[in-house]
A and B are shown apart, each in its own frame.
Chain A
Amino acid sequence: MDEGGARVKTLGDAWAWLGDPAHWAGDDGVWHRLTQHLVLTVVCLLISCLIALPVALVLGHLGRGGALAVNISNVGRAVPTFAVLVLLLLTPIGTWGDGPTVVALVLFAVPPLLTNAYVGMRGVDRSIVRAARGMGMTGRQMLWKVELPLALPLVLSGVRIAAVQLVATATIAALAGGGGLGRIITAGFNLASTPQVVAGAVLVAGFALIVEGIFEAAERLAPGWTRGTRRRAG
């Protein structure tokens, strides 16, 4: 068979792999891995938001710590996810089951949240802030009623970038023994089964694109004032 034919056959085999109900059931099955991936992504997104957003909003409101908030994104990009996962695995955290995965996921989701929220808060027109102060608003009122609503588009774009990042990091976690859809890929490599590797990759890519699509749809359906110009920080 020529090379092109072999490729078509691999795609057909991957399709057949996905069609086999046996691959969807059980602890190593697609449904279980999909649930793990979803739970990891949602839980870690919530934890990261709880950590990053209050810090970024307060720092942005006070106008302090800007260099840290902006540079942390660049640091996050330079440190390989895989290296952090393995380093955590070899520390005492490694014995906690999903511990290394959760810690690594949160570590990589915090920078985009922090940077975008901070830049959003600082990007609020200073004359509007001064007007709010002139009307006698307290700092707390200004934060909640003026700055946060105006910064919301960038805050939400940070959440979106973090969510996509989380899906990707949860996939790499499989290399270090973490749960999730990536396990289907790594198991495929261990079995030298190209169809399983490709099938797992299709599932992961589909999952990531659906997450991105949900945010895209939410952005379009949201009221106009939450939108604004989309910028990626860093």
Chain B
Amino acid sequence: MTGPPDDCLARNEWICGDYLSTRRQILVDAVVQHLQLTSVSVLIALAVALPLAVLARRFGWAAGPVLALTTVLYTIPSLAMFSLLLPVYGLSAPLVVAGLVLYSLTLLVRNILAGLRAVPEETRQAARGLGYGPIRLLLTVELPLALPAAMAGVRIAMVSAVSLVTVGAIVGFGGLGNLIYSGMNTYFKAQVLTASALCVVIAVAADLLLLGVQRALTPWTRAVRA
């Protein structure tokens, strides 16, 4: 007769190597879902935020309402945001994506607009003097100069999204949040700690990756500092 196994899983320890080896597939699936939900959300938010910020910059009257609306959206707690979208999307991944897009919008619009506003007027006039039309001015002068501020917004939005996805566990699409949620219900310490730590690792890795992208896209900012 063998007794019950006496390993760290049976003892319900916080840190457990056996958990990692026996639940590898579950963890990989959760990480993949986590990454998909966050990256899709931030990309959609970027696609919506860019024209909004450009509009708010071009037409002064649009800036007030756009900023007010995004601030109101940002004030609504994440759990309430997902719940308000329930009648529209049901228990689905698009619900979580839509909620995250609304959050990221605020951060992105605010930062892109700040970047566009910070472009010096002389620079704009110099480009006009060289015969740049409004579109070419926007694409080749204003947007590149706004890039550092915009990327700062993308980084904050990405890190926030990585952390907020976990709340999506309430509808079953929370990436690593699903593991935290089920770990809570079964009092499974190793699962909760491992999933939580992975969330932080993903957030830090995404932040560093975006920092690298920013450096690669804006070589001139380094030249100035050096």
Contacts and interface: CB of A to CB of B under 8 A. Distances in A.
A86 B156 contact: no
Interface stretch (A45-53, A133-141, A196-204): A196-204
A175 B163 contact: no
A209 B203 CA distance: 28
A126 interface: no
Contacts of B81: 201, 205
B225 to A, nearest CB: 18
B163 A197 contact: no
A146 interface: no
A89 B181 CA distance: 12
A205 B99 CA distance: 14
B86 A198 contact: yes
A208 interface: yes
A20 to B, nearest CB: 18
Nearest to A176: B184
A197 to B, nearest CB: 5
B196 A80 contact: yes
Q: Is the interface of A mostly helix, strand, loop or mixed?
A: helix
**Interface size range on A against B:** 35 or more
B184 A90 contact: yes
Contact of B86 (A86, A90, A194): A194
A131 interface: no
Contacts, number: 133
Interface string A30-51: 0000000000000000000000
A167 interface: yes
Contacts of A74: 159
Interface string A140-163: 000000000000000000000000
A185 B76 CA distance: 14
B83 A185 contact: yes
Interface string A1-22: 0000011001100000000000
Contact of B79 (A77, A78, A172): A172
Most buried by B among A80, A89, A205, A234: A80
Contacts of A198: 83-84, 86-87
A74 B193 CA distance: 20
Contacts of A83: 166, 177, 180, 192, 195-196, 199
Given A171-B77, A186-B170, A189-B170, A80 B204 contact: no
Contact of B83 (A81, A201, A209, A234): A201
Contacts of B80: 171, 182, 185, 200-202, 204-205, 208
Contact of B76 (A7, A197, A209, A234): A209
B141 to A, nearest CB: 26
Contact of A172 (B77, B183, B187, B203): B77
B77 A205 contact: yes
A96 to B, nearest CB: 16
Q: Which 10 A-B pairs have the closest CB atoms?
A: A201-B83, A83-B196, A168-B77, A78-B203, A204-B80, A10-B87, A201-B80, A80-B163, A171-B77, A80-B166
Interface of A: 6-7, 10-11, 74, 77-84, 86-87, 89-90, 164, 167-168, 171-172, 174-176, 182, 185-186, 188-189, 194, 197-198, 200-202, 204-205, 208-209, 212, 234
Interface of B: 72, 75-81, 83-84, 86-88, 156, 159-160, 162-164, 166-167, 169-171, 177, 180-181, 183-184, 187, 189, 192-193, 195-196, 199-200, 203-204, 207
11 contacts: A7-B87, A77-B203, A83-B199, A168-B79, A182-B79, A194-B87, A201-B80, A202-B80, A204-B77, A204-B83, A212-B75
